[in-house]
Structure 1
């Protein structure tokens, strides 16, 4: 079990020893550090922080610890209860709050939880601010409020509806065109908050939702990462019900994958490709994704006359690159859609609305839509790290070995070959090396990944 502190937040497994896991003491320590950071940044008299959580089993415990720590510091809390990461991101600026915390370990299994930290814009803390929170967590001089100055908790259950209102108000979303198609869609909510909010969105769009694993009790029926191997129930349900397609989200609803009408995964990489194709058809401009994302986004962007940029992995890095390059859409190949008109955060609800608008416009099936895009195939594998291995040295050895190829080292090592690539990097959220490859066929992609697994093991 482990506790990981990074740009992605504070993430760990429940139970075990303090500082080795995400225990109640660790939750309080990092909540207090965040409260100190908020006061440092905002320099006000009164402070407000929005807090929401996904449905995982430990969520209520961790949320109570975090909220009560903040009110003990004299900070008011707006409690959204069961929520999603993008919903909290939307709520922070709407509430004129000083920050936000989402209690979720995203795609990690049920034994994990995390504190994902937002600034006053509802955006994830950058590297410098994240490091400041970590530094503050090591201090023992937290200044708690006296009894008359304690914060208070206000419950607000309106934000699913408010979030959906914001999505439907986007200029790209053609509500009437979607309603006229009378789509029928299966939703795999992985027994978290997507099981609540995605059907609500679909109903507002005149789409018939068929619910699968939509009871928000935190008992994930399969690995919550929305990958092909984990979505066999969704595939079967789409075919059995003759649905137009299927939707899978992760527990905090910032990742999105589609299943076509034949029960074949559309591909989480192609979630962003399709949404970008639709947005770029109406608003010419640039795009951004991370180094581990498909080349198909580059191809689609260039087709529309825009420029494509690859950032380091991590939502903060993608957002920074989007702002620097004035991107009209961006995201990550894990099914994360970032649309600046909505907010600078991955949002599955935005992705669903854009995808439905695209289908309504083109009047074709999801399988036919996939065939309109450049087809690449990815392999996503990983190696568990031995604590004694010098991982940076291992990656440097790979860099030296392939010095004659096109290399990018802004985030791990990416090696670009003529018709394929491989990206090797340490994970921000788990003690592993991720090996992502892309090639013209699945067999070639898998073979390339397996080759580099052998090479890494040989060098280690």
Structure 2
């Protein structure tokens, strides 16, 4: 069982001992620290925080603990109930709230949950802000409100519909072209809130929707990370239904992947490439992704005369560099689309609408679209961390070993080779070292990853 405290929030497994896992006590302490931080930002009479959750089994319990902790601090809560991460993000500024909390552990299995924290813009906190909340939590210096000054909880379950309205109102979303094609789409909602939001969006676009695992029970039918090895049922359903494509999202709906009409993966990395292709064709400009993302985005950006830059891994880092470079689109290679015309957060609903607009305007099927892009292949592996493994020492040893090459060390160690690269970094969300590689063929990417894994084992 595990508890991970970081500048991006607190994440852990449910149950077990206080301080070692995400127990009710830990949830209350961290929610208290966040509430105290909110009140430190501005001196005002009333404070408001938006709270929503994915469909995890533990979600209702954790949400009630968090909301009532905020109430105890005199903070009013807007309760979205079952929602998505991007929906909470857009709700914060729409509600003129002081912040937001999403109860979700993203792609982690069902025993995990987390508190993801937002600022008044509906964006993830900066490193300094997150560090301050950790400091407050460690100091245990919280002051709660007296009985006449308690906060109140107001339910608002309209925001998924409001989110869909906002997506359809984006200038580049070609609703007419999508409706004219009459797509048939299979949706895998991994029994979380994507099973609510994505079908509603598609139906508004005039699409015939076939639902697969769209009941928000929190009992994930497969590993919830949208990778090829977890999507056998979706691939088979697309072929069986003779659908135009399949769509899968993670439990909190900020990651997006597609299956083509043949039941093959479009490629999680290429979700952003395709959406960027569409946006850049209409509004040329700069792009940003993180260091672990495919170089195909750089190729597409330069094709349209723009400039590409890579940030450290983490949505907050991508967003910061996007703002600095005035990027017109960006995101992460894990299927996270950040489109500033909507908001500065990964949003699968925005990604779906942009991708379908591209597909409809190009009059081509999904496999042909994928074949039109530069081909790179990635291997994504991980090394489980144990108490006797010093991750920082391992990364330092690999940095020394490859010191003669082209290295980037702003986030772990990235080694750029002649026609490939490898990125080694500690995960922010799991006790692992991630080992990502990219090469011209899958065999080369896998071989490079295996070689690096063997080298790490030899030095650890």
Which consecutive aligned stretches of 4+ in structure 1 deviate over 6 angstroms post-superposition?
A: none
1:267 paired residue number: 267
2:234 paired residue number: 234
The CA distance in 1 between the partners of 2:374 and 2:253, in whole Å, is 27
Describe how 1:165-176 pairs up with structure 2 within 5 A.
165-176=165-176
**Structure 1 residue 386: deviation in Å?**
2.1
User: What is the count of residue pairs matched by the alignment?
Assistant: 460
SS of residue paired to 1:78: strand
**Structure 1 residue 8: deviation in Å?**
2.6
Describe how 1:14-163 pairs up with structure 2 within 5 A.
14-163=14-163
For residues 256-299 of structure 1, the C-alpha deviation after alignment (integer angstroms, 9 at most, x for no partner) is 00000000000110000000000000001000000000000000
The CA distance in 2 between the partners of 1:189 and 1:68, in whole Å, is 29
1:330 aligns with 2:334: no
For residues 193-220 of structure 1, the C-alpha deviation after alignment (integer angstroms, 9 at most, x for no partner) is 0000100000000111100000000000
Describe how 1:174-323 pairs up with structure 2 within 5 A.
174-323=174-323
SS of residue paired to 2:139: coil
For residues 215-266 of structure 1, the C-alpha deviation after alignment (integer angstroms, 9 at most, x for no partner) is 0000000000000000000000000000000000000000000000000000
1:413 aligns with 2:413: yes
The CA distance in 2 between the partners of 1:352 and 1:385, in whole Å, is 35
**Structure 1 residue 70: deviation in Å?**
0.3
SS of residue paired to 1:164: helix
2:366 paired residue number: 366
Residues 186 and 247 of structure 1 are in contact (CA less than 8 Å); yes or no, is this contact kept in structure 2?
Answer: yes
The CA distance in 2 between the partners of 1:253 and 1:451, in whole Å, is 34
**Structure 1 residue 390: deviation in Å?**
2.2
The CA distance in 1 between the partners of 2:31 and 2:255, in whole Å, is 25
The CA distance in 2 between the partners of 1:278 and 1:38, in whole Å, is 38
For residues 337-378 of structure 1, the C-alpha deviation after alignment (integer angstroms, 9 at most, x for no partner) is 000010000000000000000001100000000011000000
The CA distance in 2 between the partners of 1:258 and 1:7, in whole Å, is 31
Residues 42 and 98 of structure 1 are in contact (CA less than 8 Å); yes or no, is this contact kept in structure 2?
Answer: no
Residues 7 and 127 of structure 1 are in contact (CA less than 8 Å); yes or no, is this contact kept in structure 2?
Answer: yes
The CA distance in 1 between the partners of 2:196 and 2:397, in whole Å, is 47
For residues 298-336 of structure 1, the C-alpha deviation after alignment (integer angstroms, 9 at most, x for no partner) is 000000100000000000000000000100000000000
The CA distance in 1 between the partners of 2:42 and 2:299, in whole Å, is 42
**Structure 1 residue 141: deviation in Å?**
2.9
**Structure 1 residue 400: deviation in Å?**
1.0
For residues 364-421 of structure 1, the C-alpha deviation after alignment (integer angstroms, 9 at most, x for no partner) is 0000000110000000000001212221121111111111111100000000011100
Describe how 1:368-387 pairs up with structure 2 within 5 A.
368-387=368-387
The CA distance in 1 between the partners of 2:387 and 2:226, in whole Å, is 28
**Structure 1 residue 139: deviation in Å?**
2.3
The CA distance in 2 between the partners of 1:270 and 1:390, in whole Å, is 34
Residues 260 and 366 of structure 2 are in contact (CA less than 8 Å); yes or no, is this contact kept in structure 1?
Answer: yes
The CA distance in 2 between the partners of 1:168 and 1:130, in whole Å, is 33
TM-score by length of 1: 0.99
Tell which deviates more after alignment, 220-229 or 130-139. Answer: 130-139
1:347 paired residue number: 347
The CA distance in 2 between the partners of 1:167 and 1:133, in whole Å, is 32
**Structure 1 residue 85: deviation in Å?**
0.1
The CA distance in 2 between the partners of 1:141 and 1:106, in whole Å, is 30
**Structure 1 residue 42: deviation in Å?**
2.2
Residues 7 and 134 of structure 2 are in contact (CA less than 8 Å); yes or no, is this contact kept in structure 1?
Answer: no
TM-score by length of 2: 0.99
Residues 381 and 435 of structure 1 are in contact (CA less than 8 Å); yes or no, is this contact kept in structure 2?
Answer: yes
- Unaligned segments of structure 2, at least 5 residues: none
Residues 382 and 435 of structure 1 are in contact (CA less than 8 Å); yes or no, is this contact kept in structure 2?
Answer: yes
The CA distance in 1 between the partners of 2:39 and 2:64, in whole Å, is 21
**Structure 1 residue 44: deviation in Å?**
1.3
Cα root mean square deviation, aligned: 0.6
The CA distance in 2 between the partners of 1:302 and 1:357, in whole Å, is 22
SS of residue paired to 2:44: coil
SS of residue paired to 1:34: helix
The CA distance in 2 between the partners of 1:130 and 1:323, in whole Å, is 20
1:455 aligns with 2:455: yes
